[in-house]
């Protein structure tokens, strides 16, 4: 992936208006990279709460950001969100 960005930099430098053209090309390439990475992650294993790491990551994030009153330990809301 780095080679593609380097190649686009060299191509933009040879064409003349390197700064503006390269920034547009690099931004487009990074947008494509993040889209493809997110799409690649959407598999049946990722969407299954029993085998995915997303459940653990979401649980850590929710306990850090949400107040305990919203998701009390052993409550119905916590059981629905953190099916384990």
- pLDDT tens for 2-13 read 788 788 888 888
Close Cβ partners of 18 (under 8 Å, ≥ 6 residues apart): 9, 12
pLDDT reading at 82 higher than 70:
no
Q: Which token pair is 74?
A: 């052993």
pLDDT reading at 84 higher than 60:
no
Q: What pLDDT score was predicted for residue 25?
A: 85
Q: Which token pair is 47?
A: 């969407």
Give the predicted TM-score (pTM) of the model.
0.50
Q: What pLDDT score was predicted for residue 31?
A: 92
pLDDT reading at 83 higher than 60:
yes
pLDDT per residue as tens digits for the range 15-74 = 877 777 888 888 888 899 899 988 887 777 777 777 888 777 887 887 788 787 777 777
């Amino acid at each position: 992936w780095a080679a593609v960005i380097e190649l686009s930099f060299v191509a933009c430098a040879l064409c003349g208006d390197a700064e503006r053209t390269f920034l547009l090309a690099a931004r487009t390439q990074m947008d494509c990279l993040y889209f493809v990475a997110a799409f690649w992650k959407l598999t049946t294993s990722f969407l299954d709460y029993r085998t995915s790491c997303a459940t653990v990551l979401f649980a850590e994030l929710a306990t850090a950001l949400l107040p305990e009153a919203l998701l009390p330990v052993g409550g119905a809301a916590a059981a629905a969100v953190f099916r384990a």
